[in-house]
Structure 1
Amino acid sequence: MKATEIERKFLVRDDSWRNSASCPHFLQQAYLHGRDQGSVRVRLVDGCSARLTIKFRTTPLTKEEYEYEIPVEEARGLLLRATGHILEKTRYKVAFDGRNWDVDVFAGAYEGLTLAEIEMASEEEAFSLPPWLGREVTGSKRYSNRSMATAPRLSPAAQGVAG
């Protein structure tokens, strides 16, 4: 299914978001192919569902996205063929000011990193910033899931992901 994804991403400064958190899901994801303008990702959700996603960047905030459900066993096989390593994170839905945020708490190589994303209907859409957000990292390759998955395995402190 084709969709347009417009999102902004922020570091998370504290755990006060947890008071409004719901719907946790454990995600394992890896990239099978990626270039500056596009990528192919496989994602396993809670070990019981899986999706294959193809993305193409059209502007700094917008991506054209094609996403398909795939069998879990095929996803497990594709994870083993990752370019780089498998990212592990728990994703929570967090309501703030009438909007839903995705908050990702990373494990494994990026343990200690927490990022928040909001999806928007347009690049100009206004929204309120929750007090638990840190600085915006939209467009920063350092915090793109694809870049983190294909980076050398360094500790979060060595990569400076906590700040």
Structure 2
Amino acid sequence: MGIEIERKFLIDTDKLPPLTNSYTIKQGYIQTVDHTTVRVRIRNQDAFLTIKGKSVGASRLEFEYPIPLQDANDMLEALCQSSVIEKMRYLVEHEGHTWEVDVFERSNKGLVVAEVELDSEEEAFTLPSWVSKEVTNDIRYFNSNLVDNPYLNW
């Protein structure tokens, strides 16, 4: 069983180091009736279907499967909610952890967050100097919620 343990933070973009290691992400969500999330994601030219369970603290079940790129495009167009999230993801190494810095585009332009995946909720890690505030449990920052309530509407 896959479990994702992830913490999310707002960042001070003025303190970020130069961002170079990146890829594009386009993703949408297939509507569900409970706290399960079904995500369709295209990362550069690779496509994935991801099913995530309800968050409990910083943890939740996560299952991800590669799918054909054309299937992902068809799902984004026909099955996903009307809005699609587009962002550039940068990978930043900091003291033994890889931080994923997401710079959002389109209706979420201006939002920049960083996530770090952990092996356990108790795992110690050092915050980079560019981290400003933790938003792990703030549902406004869940990508699945940014579809319905984009950052530009806040």
Same fold, TM-score > 0.5, yes or no: yes
The answer on whether the counterparts of 1:33 and 1:41 sit within 8 Å (CA) in structure 2 is no
Task: Tell whether 2:92 aligns with 1:94.
Answer: yes
Q: Distance in 1 between matches of 2:52 and 2:2?
A: 10
What is the identity, as a one-letter code, of the residue corresponding to 1:9? K
- Give distance in 2, aligned partners of 1:144 and 1:58: 10
Tell me the distance in 1 between the aligned counterparts of 2:75 and 2:143.
17
The alpha-carbon deviation at position 22 of structure 1 amounts to 3.9
Letter in 2 for 1:128: T
Cα distance, 1:131 vs structure 2: 0.8
SS at match of 1:142: helix
1-side partners of 2:88 and 2:46: how far apart? 15
Q: How does 1:1-163 map to 2 (within 5 A)?
A: 2-19=1-18, 21-35=19-33, 37-46=35-44, 48-57=45-54, 59-80=56-77, 81-151=79-149, 156=152, 158-159=153-154
Alpha-carbon RMSD across the aligned residues, in angstroms, is 1.6
- The alpha-carbon distance between structure 1 residues 101 and 35, as it changes in their structure 2 partners (threshold 3 A), is farther
Going from structure 1 to structure 2, the CA distance change for 1:67 and 1:109 (only over 3 Å counts) comes to same
Q: How far 1:64 moved relative to its partner?
A: 0.7
Residue 35 of structure 1: how far off its partner (Å): 4.9
Q: Which runs of 5+ in 1 are unaligned?
A: none
TM-aligned CA distance change 1:18 to 1:34, over 3 Å: farther
* Cα distance, 1:149 vs structure 2: 1.2
- Between the two proteins, the alignment pairs up a number of residues equal to 153
Q: Contact 1:11–1:114 at 8 Å: present in 2 too?
A: yes
Q: Distance in 1 between matches of 2:86 and 2:126?
A: 28
Query: Structure 2: 5+ residue runs without aligned partners?
Result: none
* Structure 1 runs (4+) greater than 4 angstroms displaced: none
So what's the TM-score if we normalise by structure 1? 0.87
Partner Cα distance (2:138, 2:33) in 1: 15
* Cα drift, residue 15 of structure 1: 3.9
